[in-house]
Amino acid sequence: MIRLDIDLTNASVHGDAAFEATLRSLSDGLVARGDANVDAELACNRCLEVNTETLEVPFEQVYRYEPQDADDEMRIENGAWIDLEPAVHDEVTLSLPIVPVCKPDCLGLCPTCGANLNTDPCDGHEDDSDSPFAALKDLFES
């Protein structure tokens, strides 16, 4: 288990990530490959409802005694220890959706009153011709 605290605009993970990994030996290091399972809180970009979704995230990381590529390879520490936390953290962060949607046909919010149209459909709104902004309405209708 690895404790993750990730906060993005519409997605977050706060809790333990369960994971399994297989280690494969290389001549000068090893490759760790596995899957992590996390519960992510996703705020729908259309209706703003927050849902929890379980994500299964694959990860792979190369560890070497003398890394050749500092960006893609991690060092095997003294005593032959490896730390899987950075690899799991990075892959979980990259797997979170940038624009989460609760369902493909989400109706979103009413632009006038802000009601969630999935659960509380609007019957329309009264005429806003008395509004001081009524004259601006025609600017966008062309």
Q: Note the pLDDT tens digit of each residue in 68-119.
A: 776 778 878 776 788 889 889 999 999 999 999 999 999 999 888 888 898 8
Report the domain count for the chain.
2
Q: Are residues 10 and 64 located together in one domain of the fold?
A: yes
The pair phi, psi for residue 58, each rounded to 5°, is -80, 150
Supply the DSSP string of 91-127, one letter for each residue: HHHHHS-SS--SSTT---B-TTT--BTTTS-------
pTM across the whole model: 0.74
- Report the mean per-residue pLDDT for the chain: 86
Same domain, 80 and 114: no
Domain that holds residue 137: 107-142
Q: What pLDDT sits at residue 1? A: 86
Is the per-residue pLDDT at 141 higher than 70? no
Q: How many other CB atoms are there within 10 angstroms of residue 124's CB atom?
A: 7
Predicted confidence (pLDDT) per residue in 39-74, tens digit: 999 999 999 999 999 999 999 998 888 887 767 788
Each residue of 59-92: b (16+ CB within 10 Å) or e?
bebbbbeebeeeeebbebeeeeebebeebbbebb
Token pair for 75: 């060092």
Q: Do residues 33 and 71 share a domain?
A: yes
